[in-house]
């Protein structure tokens, strides 16, 4: 199934033709591009409906989106199971 959303990095790549953004784009891609098999890639929802719905989009280029009644762009990293995030406690 083809993605039907405009990806943040793809949009910046278009802008890079008119500006010198390539070093920043390359840095982002090195830091955030996950494995193509990353288990989080996809669309996740709490399925509550209406304004109570929250949706997380994790795209293959390391960008993403958090949506409820407003949306914001995010960057995400695939953290391997044997590494602990600074946010993980236990």
Which pairing describes strands 42-45 and 71-75: parallel, antiparallel, or unpaired?
A: unpaired
Is the pLDDT score of 22 beyond 90? Answer: no
Please report whether residue 38 resides in a domain. Answer: yes
For residue 27, is pLDDT > 70? Answer: yes
Torsion angles phi and psi, residue 8, rounded to 5: -60, -50
Mean pLDDT across 21-39: 81
In eight-state DSSP terms, residue 34 is P
Q: Which two tokens stand for residue 19?
A: 């500006």
Tokens of 32: 């955030």
The pLDDT assigned to 48 comes to 92
Q: Is the pLDDT of residue 46 over 90?
A: yes
Does residue 29 contact residue 60 with C-beta atoms inside 8 Å? no
Helix (H) or strand (E) holding 64: strand 63-67
User: Containing domain of residue 20, as a range?
Assistant: 8-75
Confidence of residue 85 (pLDDT cuts 50, 70, 90): very low
- For the entire predicted model, the pTM comes to 0.60
The rounded percent of the chain whose pLDDT value lies above 90 is: 12
Overall domain count for the chain: 1
Inside any domain, residue 36:
yes
68 in a domain, yes or no?
Answer: yes
């Amino acid at each position: 199934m083809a993605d039907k959303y405009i990806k943040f990095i793809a949009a910046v790549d278009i802008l890079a033709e008119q500006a010198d953004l390539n070093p920043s784009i390359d840095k982002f891609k090195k830091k955030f591009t996950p494995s193509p098999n990353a288990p989080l890639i996809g669309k996740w929802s709490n399925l509550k409906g209406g304004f109570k719905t929250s949706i997380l989009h994790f795209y293959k280029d390391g960008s993403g989106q958090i949506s409820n009644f407003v949306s914001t762009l995010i960057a995400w990293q695939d953290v391997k199971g044997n590494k602990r995030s600074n946010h993980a406690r236990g």
